[in-house]
Chains A and B, each alone.
Chain A
Amino acid sequence: MDFLAEGLRRAWTLLVAGDSEVYGIALLTLKVAVVATVISCGAGLPLGYFLATRAFWGRRAALTVVNTALAFPTVVVGLLLYGLLSRRGPLGGLGWLYTWQAIVIGDVLLALPIAAALSAAAVQGVDPRVRRTAETLGAGPWRTAWTVAREARFALAAVITAAFGQVVAEIGAAMIVGGNIRGQTRTLTTAVALYTAQGDFGLALALGLVLLLLALVVNIALQVLQGRGHA
């Protein structure tokens, strides 16, 4: 138990002292998570709306694929992406392997199915009369989608939270395509894994607490946004 208390004390000291390494890792994690969440939700929410509202050949199959992708193992995504981005891979020319951009791509690939599948479910949960009413009052496709999204705002906020949660807690792909390079691609999760393995439990714990704090702040922010809305 002593080492746990010692770890907590160390974590507290690092956080209060504003340790540059801890905050550097936290900032990089936040940057990667925000960019990946914006991209995955920016593409996934419209995709979910499309899957939920448009009747087209293969729609059921597309939904099955998206739902299956929810359970895609993160290390497998990392592995595939590694193959694509490595020097011999088709995207090797980009030179993105072991960069934060590579982590963003991995995170997007993992969060996109979450954003698409959950937003499709959220839109399907909206009363179909909302869409019909918007259309019969003269709304075009974009305005109709916006009206439906407003009605599903609580569920869609939960989708964004879930996507952010996936991205911020992801380790497998980040480790493989990021490489856990100090000061460049070391995120909170990869750092926690590394420092735990090295026996620096205090630092690992401090980073773990920052990760929790980050998730908490984002959730509170989304809840505040949701709370502003009335029926």
Chain B
Amino acid sequence: MLELRAVRHRYEGRVVLDLEQFTLPRTGSVAVVGHNGSGKSTLLRLLALLETPTEGRIVFDGTAVPRRAPASLRRRVTLVEQRPILFRGTVRENLEYGLRLRDVGRAAVNGIIGDAVDRLGLAPLLDRRRHELSDGEVQRVAVARALALRTDVLLLDEPASSADRAAAGALYRALAAERAARPFAVCIASHQLEDAYRWADDIRALADGRLSPVTPENLFRVDLPPGDGVKHVPVGSIAIVVMTDRSGPAVLAVPPTDIFVSREPLPSSARNVLRGRVTGLAIEHRGAGVHVRADMGGVELIAAVTADAARDLALTPGGSVVFSFKASAVQVF
């Protein structure tokens, strides 16, 4: 639906985004993860049609977007920035802003705002002004202001960065409720991987403005068996030992830096000891680190080691390797 094609975007001559293709499906929920400065916010500003790519083009519903996107097109997309800003006036006036631009009638405005306010628990804030709100409250109001517009595409840049856990939960629940009521495309940029794993159908990693071929973590969608404590969770042909009280659908993440790499199994406290073959080595961090990709009987895992360690272990593609990690290192989302 919304697509970037062969986009190279520069700020003052420096390439900040370099994407061959980036597609946001019509009703998809995509999370873009990456560190600060990886290009996430720039990507969202391009998708929001607020900036024109230096090279390449943006395609919306099969049609190329002109250099200065008309307001009619921009009104189908909206972005909530990482540190959103509220305009002068009350929270209610802020929530009404975009609706008034769309000539929505008074009764309809009240109804739409009522829904957004209920979903995000903003009723007590309606008559407050921006200086009377906390950062987290500003963020919630900004999300409500965007949700109220019922756009085809909603872009959220770190939407829960100023929220506590409960507020973040409420925010994502509101988003899920809205999507259940009215399917639309959503793209969330986050460095909080938990957000991404929990809410997105598709996770894409950005590093230095490019889509990273390496998944940031080893992620597995699983169905956790009932019960407490240590569980053997089937993942493809292997089982991962996890310590959790949760049950049912979940996402397991094995941080690559928590994986201990060796040539032979070593006696240790690690409950997960997997033997496999190296399928690839990727140099990271300007040569100081190496991502070791290995096939563990049909399941691919990535471990991060120093370049020195990779050399000492004489790791080569096709060679045997053992990955070990503790059950407690496995994160459950």
Q: Which residues of A contact B (CB under 8 A)?
A: 127, 129-130, 132-140, 143, 147, 150-151, 229-231
Name the CB-closest residue of A to B48: A136
Which of the candidate stretches B80-88, B158-166, B258-266 sits at the interface with the other chain?
B80-88
| Range of interface residues on B (Cβ < 8 Å) | 20 to 34
A151 to B78, CA, bound (A): 21
A116 to B3, CA, bound (A): 39
The one of B74, B81, B146 in contact with A129, judged by C-beta atoms closer than 8 angstroms, is B81
Is B97 among interface residues, defined by CB-CB distance under 8 A?
yes
A219 to B78, CA, bound (A): 41
Which 4 residue pairs are nearest across A and B when measured between Cβ atoms? A137-B98, A138-B75, A129-B85, A140-B71
| Per-position 1/0 for B119-153, Cβ under 8 A of A | 00000000001110000000000000110010000
Q: Which of A135, A138, A143 is the most central at the interface, judged by chain B CB atoms within 10 Å of its CB?
A: A138
- CB-CB under 8 A from A147, the residues of chain B are 87
Majority secondary structure of chain B interface residues (helix, strand, loop or mixed): mixed
A140 to B98, CA, bound (A): 11
- CB-CB under 8 A from B85, the residues of chain A are 127, 129-130, 133
Does A137 lie within 8 Å of B71, measured CB to CB?
no
B176 to chain A, nearest CB (A): 22
Q: How many A-B residue pairs have CB under 8 A?
A: 58
Q: Which of B81, B84, B87, B146 is the most central at the interface, judged by chain A CB atoms within 10 Å of its CB?
A: B87
Name the CB-closest residue of A to B129: A231
- CB-CB under 8 A from A150, the residues of chain B are 87-88
- CB-CB under 8 A from A143, the residues of chain B are 101
- CB-CB under 8 A from A135, the residues of chain B are 50, 74
- CB-CB under 8 A from A134, the residues of chain B are 87, 97
Does B45 lie within 8 Å of A132, measured CB to CB?
yes
The one of B71, B84, B88 in contact with A139, judged by C-beta atoms closer than 8 angstroms, is B71
The one of A129, A137, A229 in contact with B149, judged by C-beta atoms closer than 8 angstroms, is A137
The one of A138, A140, A231 in contact with B131, judged by C-beta atoms closer than 8 angstroms, is A231
B83 to chain A, nearest CB (A): 7
- CB-CB under 8 A from B91, the residues of chain A are none
Is B224 among interface residues, defined by CB-CB distance under 8 A?
no
Does A130 lie within 8 Å of B87, measured CB to CB?
yes
Does A136 lie within 8 Å of B77, measured CB to CB?
yes
Is B102 among interface residues, defined by CB-CB distance under 8 A?
yes
Does B77 lie within 8 Å of A230, measured CB to CB?
no
| Per-position 1/0 for B187-203, Cβ under 8 A of A | 00000000000000000
- CB-CB under 8 A from A129, the residues of chain B are 81, 83-85
- CB-CB under 8 A from B98, the residues of chain A are 137-138
- CB-CB under 8 A from B77, the residues of chain A are 136
- CB-CB under 8 A from B50, the residues of chain A are 132, 135-136
> Can you sample 17 A-B contacts with CB below 8 Å?
A132-B50, A132-B79, A133-B81, A133-B84, A136-B77, A137-B78, A137-B146, A138-B71, A138-B98, A138-B101, A138-B102, A139-B101, A150-B88, A229-B88, A231-B88, A231-B129, A231-B130
